[in-house]
Amino acid sequence: MTSVTIFCTIFLFNFFLPTVNGDKLVYVHALWRHGDRAPEKIPYPNDIYTEDYWPRGYAMLTNVGIKQLHELGTFFRNRYTDGFVNASYNYKELLRPTDFDCPKYEKLWDDLKKPLNKEIEKKYDSVLKLLETTTGIGNDLTVKKASKLVDITREVAHNLSQPEWITRRWPEYDNNSTLDIITEIYRIRRIALFDNKKLAKLRGGYVLNDVMKRLLNASNGIFDEANKMLLYSTHDGTLLGLMYAMGIGDYQLIPYASALIFELYQGNNGLFYVQILYRKNGVLSTLDIPDCGTKCEIRKFVSLFSSMAITSKKNLYKECGVKDDDDDDDDDDKISRKWVKQMSQPKNMPTNAGISKTMTFALMFITVYYIGVYKFSMN
């Protein structure tokens, strides 16, 4: 099922963009995973930690999550405000609900998950048998349900004591604990949802188009509401979809409050280039863009990933095999045609343009936000 409500709270600030090694930072587009949150429900029938143990209830941001996002917010302020931020700001909420299925994705995933689940069942047979008896799930335990037990890690992170079988070590599995193995099963299945070109396009193509469109528009001096920075609070699936659509996934789970940051610079030669940063566990690294290096000229950047981009909601429906009831040409179609044309006829932004324009800064603490156009259940 692909039901999602997009909700992002943002703040608008005035600031001066910094200069890095003589190159001017023109635009920033960042997406980050929400902070630590409570499980969506009790992880397994025999678990003693009911919703009462989570102060804000199931699925809600925890105090740990608030601290994580506050720290991330401090990073953004330190990196991009260059010591100057207007004390006043404009508050804005964006609410764009979309609700539909993606049969094509579900069919592709269904074909891939069957052999994958069999491999997991064979490799971790003894662990799965233990989970049948200890969790209370019994014979109804599936690989999917075993992977969902990863929510136990949330309890561990909050110092909730665990039964012996959770910490039991398995010599035949490199002496990993039961929880380590559960996490590995989850990682294998989670990454498999994106580690396929067709799946990655359906999961990340629409967001990829949004990022590319905004970067290209910025390189041409076109700013929506004069925004120089746009930040999205999102889920790990949005980040994974985007990263694997671009071929920059690292086969690891995305920690809470991790951020993928696209920076657009104008060099001394007047040309624009894109740099991608990935911040996880408080460590910032520069990613290598496939076939382009760490600094990718904007037109080449767009050209490299245009085949993976889904340029409109109509095209997204079409790719998913879903009928679009809206016959009108939507704004996304118009904008996408415009920026594709711009790619072949670029123009340099004046060197003094927009250096002190408005920055879009997102609220990083309150609740768990949804961004993106769709999400899929991991069956």
Confidence at 228, pLDDT banded by 50, 70, 90:
confident
pTM of the model: 0.83
* 139-156 pLDDT tens trace: 999 999 999 999 999 999
The answer to whether residue 350 scores a pLDDT higher than 50 is no
- pLDDT for position 239: 97
* pLDDT higher at 96 or 135: 135
pLDDT at residue 11, as a whole number? 40
Confidence at 138, pLDDT banded by 50, 70, 90:
very high
170 is written with which tokens?
């398995």
User: Is the pLDDT confidence value at 372 over 90?
Assistant: no
Write the CB contacts of 88 (distance below 8 Å, at least 6 apart in sequence): none
CA dihedral 319, 117, 129, 140 (to 10 degrees): 40
Q: What mean pLDDT is reported for the chain?
A: 82
Q: CA-based diameter of the chain, in Å?
A: 68
Window from 94-98, 157-161, 212-216, 280-284 with minimum mean pLDDT: 94-98
* Helix, strand, or coil (residue 90): strand
∠ CA 8-14-16, nearest 5°, is 120
**pLDDT on residue 161:** 98
Does the domain at 3-99+199-362 match CATH 3.40.50.1240? Answer given as yes
Angstrom distance (rounded) from CA 353 to CA 218: 10
**Residue 233 phi, psi dihedral angles, 5° rounding:** -95, 125
- The DSSP bridge pattern shows strands 272-280 and 283-286 to be antiparallel
Integer-rounded Cα radius of gyration of the chain: 22
Percent of residues, the chain, with pLDDT higher than 70: 74
Residues 15-25 have pLDDT tens digits of 445 555 679 89
How many angstroms separate the CA atoms of 347 and 21, rounded? 23
Q: pLDDT tens, 262-304?
A: 999 999 999 999 999 999 999 999 999 999 999 999 999 999 9
The yes-or-no verdict on residue 42 having pLDDT over 60 is yes
| Selected residue with higher pLDDT from 327 and 275 | 275
Confidence at residue 276, expressed as pLDDT on a 0 to 100 scale: 99
CA distance 50 to 48: 6
Is the model's pLDDT at 246 over the cut of 50?
A: yes
Please report which confidence band the pLDDT of residue 326 belongs to, taking 50, 70 and 90 as the band edges. low
The residues spanned by each domain of the chain are 3-99+199-362, 104-192
Residue 37, pLDDT above cutoff 70: yes
Express each pLDDT in 57-66 by its tens digit. Answer: 999 999 999 9
Question: For position 98, what pLDDT does the model report?
Answer: 52
Over residues 240-269, mean pLDDT:
97
Mean pLDDT over 77-97 rounds to: 54
- Cβ within 8 Å of residue 162, ≥6 positions away: 152, 155, 156, 179
